[in-house]
Amino acid sequence: MKDEFWEAIITNNASYDDQFLYAVKTTGIFCRPSCKSREPNRQNVRLFRSAEEAIRADYRPCKRCKPAGKRLPNEDWVAQITDYIDLHYHERLSLQLLADLFHGSPYHLHRTFKRITDLTPVEYIQRLRVKKAQEMLDSTDYTVGNIGFMVGIPSSPYFITLFKKITGYTPAEYRQRHNRIDLGGGELDGRISEAADLLDQIHI
């Protein structure tokens, strides 16, 4: 990308709006150069000559600057946000960050997200992180603290409290219950991953 075009993007230069559009790979959104959105990472930017070209490349128009000349439906906008959260749940996320990335106000994002998903953005992130933690408790020997950190919750006490609030169990209780198989009143320790490995060995 030419330095001239990059300068137009970071300075929101409207005189370039009829020359190109730019898309951000990490969000899947394309904008006009004049869009007053969060400054992207230059390495994640692609340029297009038209909205049609950007859409064919699977990018969706910005809700703020409307580069396709029409308003993006709220359902599509929220889908963009959930797709981003699904990929970046382990990173530090906030309502303000999501609003900046997806070119809306925090209030409007919160209200629209809740109306379409029945969850607030924070609730969606929390449930996803707990779901990912459950998967790791089932399939790894990582400590509870390490799993919390890996799903984006570095505070162990908060991770344990949130996990129990959503699942009804602490992470340790969940792991114990899901790693024991009840056979006629007797319990055998058995991890799902170990059972799968054993089956693989039998079929080799």
Q: What beta strand segments (E) does 148-203 contain?
A: 180-183, 186-189
Q: How buried is 44 (Cβ within 10 angstroms: 0-12 exposed, 13-18 middle, 19+ buried)?
A: exposed
* CB half-sphere exposure, 28, CA atoms < 13 A: 14
- Residues identified as active-site: 31
The identity of residue 120, as a single letter, is T
The pair of structure tokens assigned to 38 is 């969060």
- Measured CA to CA, the distance from residue 150 to residue 90 in angstroms comes to 6
